[in-house]
Structure 1
Amino acid sequence: MRVAVMGAGAVGCFFGGMLARAGHAVTLIGRPAHVEAIRDHGLRMETRLFDEQVRLHADTDPSAARGAQVVLFCVKSTDTVSAARELAPYLGADTLLLSMQNGVDNAERLRETVPQPVSAAVVYVATEMAGPGHVKHHGRGELVIEPADGADALAQALVAAGVPVELSDNVRGALWSKLLINCAYNALSALTQQPYGELVKGEGVWTVMDQLVDEGLAVAAADGVTLVGDVRQAVRKIAETMPGQFSSTAQDLARGKPTEIDHLNGFLVRRGEALGVPTPANRVLHTLVHLAELSRA
């Protein structure tokens, strides 16, 4: 299978690397520092099971996606539309775009931008870019994928590559469940610059997280979303299964990069306003992260 990864950061490098290890033709499209390192030495995949240099293609230009059967679409939610427009001239009519992003509405925005089949994916992985061309895996690594043309073949390839995959008709509910988990952790981890395991030891943190989740559950109910699993229990487990993980928002803030907070707590605030559901705790964290972005800038 010919696969391109658009926005090859930690998530894209991990799943693209897994497919490359299994023999698929993978091209990573990312930032120059990572591309240069990967071209020179391969992608270093440091995981709990192996530490290898994986050989694959890397480029900085979206034109490198030409001929791909599948694009793992991993850009920041803030860049969804602009990246899709850059990519569009190089996509085949049947190229599947798999949205592997934070937030719940990226697949919808992709469908409004390109005519190709689009599938939303819920990503459960703890990973980071530990240096140029070096992806470090901290835990998990499974996907929930929405049915679409080409999704079955991709799911089979991923499973054969060692990635657990579930095809689900309720990816919307799974995305919302993950959104509420992210809203509980991401901003707090960013503002304190603490990993999940240390974060939850703070006085009053679980109470704040419960309030954040309560607001999210109320918005989801008002929006007619059927959530997947027990969100409260899932929030508690994250600190146990990913104790050393810093949120993606924390990583962005530490590097002085724009965060995706508008698509996390900010999204809940906007949906709450539209549906008449108050979200004061989420509003405070949304505001504080933006203030922290300004101070870092």
Structure 2
Amino acid sequence: MREWTILGAGALGCTFAALLTAKHRPVSLLLSERHRRHFHPALEFIALNERRRLVSTHPRHAEQATGIECLLVMTKAYQVLPALNNLRGLPADTPIILLHNGMGVAEAVARAFPHNPLLAGVTSHGALKEGPWQVRHTGKGETWLGPVNDKGRAFAHLLKPLADALGHAEWSEDIVSLQHRKLAINAVINPLTACHHIRNGQLHEPRFADVLNQLAEEVHAVLTRLGETETLAQFLRRLNSVIGLTATNYSSMHQDLAHGRPTEIDYITGYVLKHAEDLPVPVCRQLYNEVKKQGG
């Protein structure tokens, strides 16, 4: 039975660990140096039905990389490459699955690990860290994986254990398009909620109507240039649906700014700005600058 090693012991990484262990899949958490002497051997997981249980995983550190069989990367986008570069001796046949917000990282990972099978994914599961080693599963969603390189295509079989644990997992040969769809939503919701210090649902208040529509138009125009075929009307329906479904949530970017952590703005809005070229995207640029100004 293949062990899943999760790099990124945040809310979502711990939630995936809990869901996998519930299906009797072996899981290890790859921990940073700060956890070496303070690691609590079990985390408290609060399920969607409010049931609480302790989840035991195998702690692993960077020098134990030679034993990693399957690596699920769930760190922040800016942490991915530095964290992977610390894994001396990671076997060349170990699949690396990138499951993080934003885009622009996979290309660098492919260059740094040219011999490893490389996959990328998107998920709409929600999770919240309520305390040290205490996480709450806040929403069930879809998960998609797809190949980044040719070797990654041989690992579609990883979907079955993921689907059993998560409730849904499917394969897409065009994972970039699915990443674009998620990034488009994040590029609207995250910086707006972060800059205005609000929950997602507050974006439906009349005061945000104009900026929400203009930002959506800018993001949609850039994604269209990148080859996406979703119409503006379709994107707006999807955007408004996500805002409604996550109305009581704070976005990850809001939480990062609120807690003084770096944000993923460079891999979300920054990705949009990078590919805008001559397209006018003044709201995107203003929000990018404001997040950076606030410490992001």
What is the TM-score with the length of structure 2 in the denominator? 0.89
Change (3 A) 1:21 1:53: same
Shift of 1:150: 5.1
Shift of 1:292: 1.1
Change (3 A) 1:168 1:79: same
Q: Paired residue for 2:206?
A: 203
Change (3 A) 1:145 1:184: same
Task: Give the SS at the match of 1:188.
Answer: helix
Change (3 A) 1:162 1:80: closer
**1:169-214 deviation digits (Å, cap 9, x = unpaired):** 12111111111100111012112222212x2243332332222221
Change (3 A) 1:66 1:227: farther
Q: Paired residue for 2:6?
A: 5
Q: Paired residue for 1:105?
A: 104
Q: Paired residue for 1:257?
A: 261
**1:192-238 deviation digits (Å, cap 9, x = unpaired):** 222212x2243332332222221112112222245599322221011
Task: Give the SS at the match of 1:119.
Answer: strand
Instruction: Map 1:9-158; keep pairs closer than 5 Å.
Output: 9-31=10-32, 32=34, 36=38, 38-39=40-41, 42-49=42-49, 50-59=51-60, 61-87=61-87, 89-114=88-113, 115-147=115-147, 148-149=152-153, 151-158=155-162
Distance in 1 between the 2:64 and 2:12 partners?
A: 19
The gaps in structure 1 that reach 5 residues or longer are none
- 1:279 paired residue among 275, 278, 281: 281
Shift of 1:22: 1.4
- Are the counterparts in 2 of residues 2 and 67 from structure 1 also a CA contact under 8 Å? no
Amino acid at match of 2:193: S
- Work out the percentage of aligned pairs sharing the same amino acid: 27
- Are the counterparts in 1 of residues 184 and 223 from structure 2 also a CA contact under 8 Å? no
- Are the counterparts in 1 of residues 104 and 271 from structure 2 also a CA contact under 8 Å? no
Shift of 1:243: 1.7
The gaps in structure 2 that reach 5 residues or longer are none
Change (3 A) 1:233 1:113: same
Count of residues paired in the alignment: 287
Q: Paired residue for 1:289?
A: 291
Change (3 A) 1:63 1:109: same
- Are the counterparts in 2 of residues 65 and 91 from structure 1 also a CA contact under 8 Å? yes
- Are the counterparts in 2 of residues 5 and 29 from structure 1 also a CA contact under 8 Å? yes
**1:91-129 deviation digits (Å, cap 9, x = unpaired):** 222211110111122222211111211111012122121
Distance in 2 between the 1:145 and 1:214 partners?
A: 28
Distance in 2 between the 1:252 and 1:221 partners?
A: 29
Q: CA RMSD in A?
A: 2.2
Shift of 1:74: 1.4
Q: Paired residue for 2:252?
A: 248
Shift of 1:47: 2.0
What is the TM-score with the length of structure 1 in the denominator? 0.89
